[in-house]
Structure 1
Amino acid sequence: MLDSELENAALRIVSVETVTPGGSREADDVAVCVVRCIGGTARLGMVFERSGPAEVAGAAAPSFALTGIEWYGRQVEQLDTIHSGKVTLAGAGAEKLATHDVLESHAKG
């Protein structure tokens, strides 16, 4: 089992740069956001959910896969606590992401 499967991370959105609709039901929306890692280490491939109350009772919270991390102009595989970077998130509902939202990953194990 990989360490990243046991690790949690939290990202606070500083700004939403762009959101690109998926274009079809099978394709995910893609959001590029500037974030600050406020807990743990965010790694490529982690899945995040927006923390807070569910928008609709009984509805599953949208989840977003972390597909890209840019740190000081370089593509990297992780973003550590207290660092900021530009991330690419893929998932349905990306257009609802907003400044100050907190995204949390959850360990699989």
Structure 2
Amino acid sequence: MPASADRYLEVQRSEEFAQLRHKLRSFIFPTTIAFIVWYALYVLLSAYARDFMSIKLIGNINIALVFGILQFVSTFGIAWFYARYAAKELDPRADAVYNELENNPEAAATTPEGSAS
């Protein structure tokens, strides 16, 4: 039997769901801000510090090229780090919320402290 709309609202107001949201936001917001700042630095340096960005490091490899490659590296690094973080911190909490919703549709959404960890 599917859970009712009231049950979903009850789960949304639960402590477990609040902890899941907090864990997600504590990763997403700082990481997003850091990446936007890093990207903006690259764009601004490319636009306004051409002399600096054109400094050759090895052969024809200059700072701009290294920064551009590091944009790709940081993107894949963030994706890898998020996958590990989600598997360790988010997925168990999300599973606990889901199981509580699906297996106990009439009970209260909260469980004893620590059961969602």
Same fold (TM over 0.5): no
* TM-score category (smaller protein): under 0.3
Q: Which has the higher contact order (CA 8 A, sep 6+)?
A: 2
Q: Which has the higher strand share?
A: 1
TM-score under structure 1 normalisation?
A: 0.22
Q: Which has the higher helix share?
A: 2
Instruction: Flag the structure with larger Rg.
Output: 2
TM-score under structure 2 normalisation?
A: 0.21
